[in-house]
């Protein structure tokens, strides 16, 4: 018998781990568990039939560094990503609210690929590949299976799952149950674990059969060339305005994924909750995008919307051998594409817990610690989005915010995952002061940028600037350094250098904000930066980005 398949004992089928949901989170968890322990019996129960269609109507097509590294290197799927998905030219931002002439407005992105790669995922194609790979590795993957009852044990007895599959009711006993069912939230609903947050945003999204080449949106040769050799269409494109952003993501199947994400108070869902309304909304807020997409050859493939998509959870890991991962637990906001990141982080903690249980260790203290860490990553990342949508259209403040948010990510959370230290409690104890300082700096900076962007409520969108992140040396170095193999001493030393870079950037942004608005509050930054010597650190803000346009010319 294949050691990875469920077996029958005493009349009931048994397995070591049953995963409820065979989407992105569930299938990648199954692969990660099998890689760590080939003897582990794993069963995945998925409601939908496989294979699914390409350009499936799921959000989460854009990856950034942690998620991309998880798929490519932790799970070993790089060959598929390179051959069957789209290598992306980073995240790109256009500040073009109500402006047709995109060449007259500011844009932020990269002209060349940063060292650490990421991809755009055709979710249907990727999940079909994951399903095939899981079966090849001995995972018992049952599609078209519907969970009917779930009995969770609070003793050493197994959990029990009853589900309908192949026309009959089946029962499965499992030592571990992991809920990866997405918004169905099987364990969350059963145990009353749902928790709302104060990030009130909505989203609508759709796919079209075909792709619009953004480089053709203007005849201006300088605009066309200002980010060469990058092709704009291969970026995760954000068309930004006050209270919203509109995404364009190319899929390897030839479709274009499109979506509007907005602050519910500023742009009610009812103004865009059908395809016709969404296109009319685009006509007003992004007229060049509307013209490019309003073509008869672009067949509509699907349309969906979701109200108040961001949510928390009261508990995700239990000493009683159950866990939640992916959207079944937490979901933040798609602006910086963190969905796959949090799948990677959560799946890794689940693997750690199951591994310790298999080794005979008591998991209760680890379940508590890992949950505290995971929740802290979620809460700190949520601050990048919460109450910040009103400034998303600001062409001067938002490029600064993007730089800050990248530094925060590249300095602390991303290196922790890349270095395989996210469950290393000894190193985490030593990192605690840096994470605490980073959190304090970030809270202050988000408040500063929010005040700046809201007080300067009518910026000139036609001060066109090209913010090329590839030209910024520290962007290339911090991004490329994620893959460095460092011992603990070198890793901690680099973290201290990264913290100094964060302080320097914060001090420069505070000075710039005060120059723009002399009575700007410091939001606690003066105290946090009291011991920082700006003259001893290289400048972080590219000077040419923030001088008046006439001087820059």
Give me the average pLDDT of each 10-residue run along the chain (553 residues).
45 89 98 98 97 86 98 98 97 98 97 97 97 98 98 98 97 98 97 97 97 97 95 98 98 97 98 98 98 97 96 98 98 98 98 98 98 98 98 96 98 98 98 98 98 92 93 97 98 98 97 94 97 94 73 45
96 burial class (0-12, 13-18, 19+ CB within 10 angstroms)? buried
The sign of the torsion formed by the CA atoms of 55, 60, 62, 64 equals negative
Q: What is the pLDDT of residue 444?
A: 98
Residue 508 CB contacts under 8 Å (≥ 6 apart), including other chains: 534, 539, 540, 541
155 burial class (0-12, 13-18, 19+ CB within 10 angstroms)? exposed
Q: Report the distance separating Cα 547 and Cα 162, nearest Å.
A: 65
Q: What is the pLDDT of residue 12?
A: 66
Q: Report the distance separating Cα 154 and Cα 450, nearest Å.
A: 46
Token duo for residue 112: 């060349």
Token duo for residue 221: 């040769």
SS3 for 259? strand
Q: Report the distance separating Cα 64 and Cα 332, nearest Å.
A: 14
HSE, CB side, 13 Å, CA atoms: give it for residue 365. 3
Judging by DSSP bridges, how do beta strands 322-324 and 145-151 pair with one another?
Answer: unpaired
For tokens 């409690």, what's the residue? 425
Buried b (16+ CB within 10 A) or exposed e, 327-347: bbbbbbbbbbbbbbbbbbbbb
Q: What is the pLDDT of residue 55?
A: 83
- Decide if 358 contacts 40 (C-beta within 8 A): yes
Judging by DSSP bridges, how do beta strands 466-468 and 145-151 pair with one another?
Answer: unpaired
Q: What is the pLDDT of residue 346?
A: 98
Would you give the distance in Å from CA 399 to the centre of its chain?
Answer: 19
Beta bridge partners of 508: none
Q: How many residues does the chain have?
A: 553
Please give the C-alpha separations between residue 95 and each of 269, 285, 353, 399, in angstroms, as whole numbers. Answer: 22, 11, 44, 10
Q: What is the pLDDT of residue 99?
A: 97
- Decide if 115 contacts 473 (C-beta within 8 A): no
Q: What is the pLDDT of residue 141?
A: 98
Q: Report the distance separating Cα 30 and Cα 15, nearest Å.
A: 13
Beta bridge partners of 142: 45
Q: Report the distance separating Cα 193 and Cα 331, nearest Å.
A: 14
Phi, psi of 54 (to 5 degrees): -70, 165
Judging by DSSP bridges, how do beta strands 312-313 and 7-9 pair with one another?
Answer: unpaired
Q: Report the distance separating Cα 446 and Cα 387, nearest Å.
A: 9
For tokens 């992004």, what's the residue? 286
- What is the CB neighbour count within 10 angstroms for residue 452? 24
Strand intervals (E) in 65-115: 86-87, 91-95, 107-109
Beta bridge partners of 13: 8, 172
- Indicate the helix (H) or strand (E) that contains 30: helix 24-36
Residue whose C-alpha is closest to residue 180's, from 32, 5, 333: 32
Token duo for residue 445: 């900076």
Please give the C-alpha separations between residue 100 and each of 32, 119, 292, 460, in angstroms, as whole numbers. Answer: 47, 29, 11, 15
Q: Report the distance separating Cα 518 and Cα 334, nearest Å.
A: 34
């Amino acid at each position: 018998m294949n050691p990875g398949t469920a077996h029958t004992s005493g009349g009931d089928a048994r397995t070591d781990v049953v995963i409820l949901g065979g989407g992105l989170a569930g299938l990648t968890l199954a692969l990660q568990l099998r890689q760590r322990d080939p003897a582990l019996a794993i069963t995945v129960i998925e409601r939908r039939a496989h294979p699914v269609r390409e350009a499936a109507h799921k959000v989460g097509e854009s990856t950034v560094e942690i998620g991309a590294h998880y798929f490519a290197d932790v799970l070993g799927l790089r060959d598929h990503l390179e051959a069957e998905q789209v290598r992306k030219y980073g995240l790109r931002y256009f500040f073009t609210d109500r402006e047709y002439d995109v060449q007259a407005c500011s844009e932020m992105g990269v002209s060349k690929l940063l060292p650490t790669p990421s991809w755009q995922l055709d979710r249907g194609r990727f999940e079909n590949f994951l399903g095939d790979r899981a079966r090849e590795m001995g995972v018992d993957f049952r599609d078209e299976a519907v969970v009917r009852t779930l009995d969770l044990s609070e003793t050493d007895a197994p959990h029990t799952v009853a589900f309908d599959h192949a026309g009959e009711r089946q029962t499965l006993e499992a030592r571990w149950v992991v809920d990866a069912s997405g918004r169905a939230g099987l364990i969350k609903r059963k145990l009353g674990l749902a928790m709302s947050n104060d990030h009130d945003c909505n989203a609508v999204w759709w796919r079209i059969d075909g792709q619009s080449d953004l480089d053709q949106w203007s005849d201006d040769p300088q605009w066309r060339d200002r980010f060469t050799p990058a092709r704009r269409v291969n970026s995760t494109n954000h068309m930004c305005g006050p209270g919203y952003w509109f995404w364009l993501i190319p899929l390897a199947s030839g479709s274009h994924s499109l979506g509007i994400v907005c602050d519910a108070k500023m742009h009610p869902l009812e103004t865009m909750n059908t395809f016709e309304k969404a296109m009319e909304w685009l006509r007003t807020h992004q007229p060049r995008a509307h013209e490019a997409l309003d073509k008869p050859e672009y067949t509509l493939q699907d349309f969906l919307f979701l109200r108040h998509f961001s949510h928390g959870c009261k508990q995700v890991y239990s000493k009683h051998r159950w866990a939640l991962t992916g959207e079944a637990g937490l979901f933040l906001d798609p602006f910086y594409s963190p969905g796959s990141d949090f799948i990677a982080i959560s799946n890794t903690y689940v693997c750690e817990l199951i591994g310790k249980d298999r080794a005979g260790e008591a998991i209760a203290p680890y379940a508590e610690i890992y949950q505290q860490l995971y929740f802290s990553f979620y809460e700190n990342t949520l601050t990048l989005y919460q109450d910040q949508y009103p400034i998303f259209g600001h062409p001067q403040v938002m490029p600064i915010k993007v730089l800050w948010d990248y530094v925060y990510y590249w300095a602390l959370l991303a290196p922790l995952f890349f270095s395989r230290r996210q469950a290393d409690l000894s190193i985490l104890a030593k990192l605690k002061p840096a994470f605490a300082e980073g959190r304090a700096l970030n809270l202050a900076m988000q408040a500063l940028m929010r005040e700046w962007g809201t007080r300067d409520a009518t910026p000139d969108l036609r001060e066109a600037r090209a913010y090329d992140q590839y030209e910024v040396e520290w962007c290339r170095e911090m991004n490329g350094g994620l893959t460095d193999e460092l011992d603990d001493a070198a890793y901690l030393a680099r973290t201290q250098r990264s913290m100094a870079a964060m302080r320097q950037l914060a001090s420069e942004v505070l000075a710039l904000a005060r120059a723009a608005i002399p009575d700007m509050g410091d939001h606690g930054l003066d105290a946090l930066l009291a011991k920082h010597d700006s003259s001893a650190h290289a400048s972080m803000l590219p000077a040419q980005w923030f001088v008046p346009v006439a001087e820059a010319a």
